[in-house]
Structure 1
Amino acid sequence: MNILLTGATGFVGKQLTIRLLNEGHTVYALARNERKADTLIESLPAELQNKLFIIEGNITNDRAGVSAENIDRLKDTVDTVYHIAAYLSFDDSEKEKTFDINVNGTRNILEFSKVIQAKNFYHVSTAYTLGDQLYASESLHSVDNGFVNYYEQSKCYAEHLVFEYEDHFNVSIFRPSIIIGDSKTGEAETTFALYGVIRSFEIMKKRIERKKEMPSDRIKFLCAQDTAQNLVPVDYVVDVLVAGLENSKNKEIYHITNSQPPTNLLVFETLKSVLDFNQVELVSTSYDGELTEQEMKFNEPMKVFHQYLDKTLTFDDTNTRKLLSESNVQTLDLNKDMLRTIIAGGR
């Protein structure tokens, strides 16, 4: 197949590009600049590079900023568009940029896909478009829900927009939860979520080692122990996205989620074991005691995630299980050994 990707230079996009090329597909990657394009090309084995074509463009522009010449080149050629590019920010001051990229950018790539007469449009969203609900069905969520941040809200609006184009091509939405490293190698190219925690722990351990003395009390890390975080390895995300090529259904939504997500305590204990750093203890985010200046610095980077750490969400993945069964692909089993591999690979 001939496949066009936005976000091909990102964490998920690069892995999907490599998988598609390995399976014999021709990939057109939309890239904003030559530097990003070169980095993507250099990451590929030499034998795959001639199956990758870079298309200069920017989703914030009309028709994704693609030249008329390239539009003519791609017309009636592209079978499937994967729209992965997005702006991930929890900063309220960046609301305008977040909506411009995630909503207007999606509209631009939809219009572009209509012009080139693509057959399928696969939108990679997020599992967290459910807003303030605790259970997510594989259906569109209301844009009137309360949202934790503007990122969630923008992605929910974008999903509704995608389904408005059902008359122009087959549309499917894929909703990954919290994406972590490769389940086999641990390789990850992200500093988000889990990797921010790993980095904070590494920094704190080094500070203690430099002082050459153990603190008299354990350092407090604010995090609910028994709630679970929906972690999914990047290769599983790619498995589901590739399965969609042959077996996804029009106007279907697929949760790329974990039906048995690890608790915060399990992640925390695994992290302490991998780092050999046992001078930390978990305390509730509602802890009302005093924190030392050192502890406040330690916890500061994670404040933005507390609303996620304090609750366990449930995601129905019935559609995804059916899709994977039809594609002879196993559903996710994130066990302790796999979690340890991923945390070790994120160091």
Structure 2
Amino acid sequence: MILVTGGTGLVGSHLLLKLVQQKQHIRATYRKGSDLERVKTIFSYHSKNSDSLYKAIEWIEADLNDLPNLTLAFDKITTVYHCAAYISFDPSVYKILRDTNIIGTANIVNLCIEKKVQKLCHVSSVATLGYAEDVITEDTHWQGNHNQSVYAISKYGAEMEIWRATQEGIPAIIVNPGVIIGPGFWNRGSGLLFKIISKKQSYFTKGSTGFIGVDDVTQAMVDLMASKIENQRYILVAENLSHREFMTNIANQLGVNPPTKLATKYSLCLALYLDYFQSKLLGKRRRLSKALCQTLTKTYNFSSKKIKKDLKTFEFTPISQVIEQSCQHFF
């Protein structure tokens, strides 16, 4: 039986759809207050039988630090896809990030060891890789916590737990996706960019990064888990694009004017301070941090040669096609 943690997230929900369409026996975890209806919505984008597909999944409420329920979730489990994570770049919530992403992953690893799970797949991020002026590969190592976002630090800590699992005899795969694009989550992550651009956002930053469609992420995960490959990590990036290119593509698909004004370092600093004071005065969740602003102005060039070499038949979907498909479901 397969266990998927974080079944209500962008990657988790699309992974569940792929697995259930393969007639796999699946159990999925969700946190209290999670939107299970959104999973049905995601399923409906791809199938007319969304209700029956959803009902084929065994759901269990289990926070990553809720050991009693998490232990129940591992009953008769042979394979684990660990998708659950907390995403934030707000330094003030580092404790939540640490508790969820590092300690929570440690709990998953401990149960995998205890239950003698056959294979584990962990969804990490390109944020855990080091920086290089030319090309970033799986061998571009982490360069310490200095100038790293709190999110990156927590995900790097999570990866260390996965490597611990491999030392304890659990075969594991780590995937390091770039910015994941997909429909259904318009108020957070990359989906929020669609919403912002739909309101005719006029500013862009000069940096660039790697992008990938969510279906490609889940397909790579399933293919890697079905293979004999183990104890490896893979960058998953379909294309490296400038932020302006990416935002312009979305704007064109939504039929709005693309951004034309470069956000200078001064304007980013101003936005950073405004974001900070809003969080303090109005209690709003911070969307910017110093580390994130630095990331938005850097040029990142990720290589996906390793996944193409090891999975001969795997092909990435062009980002323009991913954006077009996502915009069809935008509201």
Aligned to 2:227: 247
CA shift in 2, pair 1:121/1:194, >3 Å: closer
1:60 shift after superposition: 1.4
Is the CA contact 2:90–2:287 (under 8 Å) kept in the aligned structure 1? Answer: no
Give 5+ residue unaligned stretches, structure 1: 182-186, 206-218
d(CA) in 1 for partners of 2:25 and 2:254?
Answer: 41
Is the CA contact 1:64–1:112 (under 8 Å) kept in the aligned structure 2? Answer: no
d(CA) in 1 for partners of 2:30 and 2:237?
Answer: 28
Aligned to 2:296: 309
SS of aligned partner of 1:146: coil
Aligned to 2:307: 320
CA shift in 2, pair 1:164/1:268, >3 Å: closer
TM-score (structure 1 length as normaliser): 0.77
d(CA) in 1 for partners of 2:106 and 2:175?
Answer: 17
Is the CA contact 2:27–2:60 (under 8 Å) kept in the aligned structure 1? Answer: yes
Aligned to 1:172: 173
Is the CA contact 2:253–2:323 (under 8 Å) kept in the aligned structure 1? Answer: no
1:5 shift after superposition: 0.7
d(CA) in 2 for partners of 1:337 and 1:279?
Answer: 18
d(CA) in 2 for partners of 1:57 and 1:169?
Answer: 22
Aligned to 1:12: 11
1:118 shift after superposition: 0.8
d(CA) in 2 for partners of 1:64 and 1:251?
Answer: 28
d(CA) in 2 for partners of 1:39 and 1:337?
Answer: 23
1:110 shift after superposition: 0.9
Is the CA contact 1:140–1:159 (under 8 Å) kept in the aligned structure 2? Answer: no
- Is residue 88 from structure 1 mapped to residue 87 from structure 2 by the alignment? yes
Aligned to 1:61: 66
The 5-angstrom pairing of residues 222-237 of structure 1 reads 222-224=204-206, 227-237=207-217
Deviations 1:252-300 (A, max 9, x none): 0011112x322223223334434444385221423579x9x9xx89xx9
SS of aligned partner of 1:262: strand
The 5-angstrom pairing of residues 137-152 of structure 1 reads 137-139=137-139, 141-142=141-142, 144-152=144-152
CA shift in 2, pair 1:287/1:41, >3 Å: closer
Deviations 1:103-160 (A, max 9, x none): 0000011112222221101111111112555543224833725343111011111111
Is the CA contact 1:58–1:66 (under 8 Å) kept in the aligned structure 2? Answer: no
- Is residue 256 from structure 1 mapped to residue 256 from structure 2 by the alignment? no
CA shift in 2, pair 1:171/1:11, >3 Å: same
Give 5+ residue unaligned stretches, structure 2: 44-49, 279-285
Whose Rg is larger? 1
Aligned to 1:184: none
CA shift in 2, pair 1:271/1:81, >3 Å: closer
Aligned to 1:155: 155
In structure 1, give the amino acid aligned to 2:308: R
SS of aligned partner of 1:12: helix
Q: Which of 157, 177, 193 is the equivalent residue of 1:197?
A: 193
d(CA) in 2 for partners of 1:341 and 1:51?
Answer: 26
Is the CA contact 1:63–1:109 (under 8 Å) kept in the aligned structure 2? Answer: no
CA shift in 2, pair 1:142/1:338, >3 Å: closer
Is the CA contact 1:236–1:332 (under 8 Å) kept in the aligned structure 2? Answer: yes
Give the root-mean-square deviation of aligned CA atoms. 3.2
d(CA) in 2 for partners of 1:344 and 1:46?
Answer: 21
d(CA) in 2 for partners of 1:116 and 1:283?
Answer: 53
In structure 2, give the amino acid aligned to 1:130: L
CA shift in 2, pair 1:123/1:33, >3 Å: same
In structure 2, give the amino acid aligned to 1:221: Y
Aligned to 1:331: 316
- Is residue 188 from structure 1 mapped to residue 184 from structure 2 by the alignment? yes
Aligned to 1:25: 24
1:330 shift after superposition: 1.7
Is the CA contact 1:143–1:156 (under 8 Å) kept in the aligned structure 2? Answer: no
Worse-superposed segment, 48-57 or 16-25: 48-57
In structure 1, give the amino acid aligned to 2:194: I
Is the CA contact 1:148–1:307 (under 8 Å) kept in the aligned structure 2? Answer: no
TM-score (structure 2 length as normaliser): 0.80
CA shift in 2, pair 1:91/1:303, >3 Å: closer
Is the CA contact 1:255–1:319 (under 8 Å) kept in the aligned structure 2? Answer: yes
SS of aligned partner of 1:103: helix
d(CA) in 2 for partners of 1:37 and 1:279?
Answer: 34
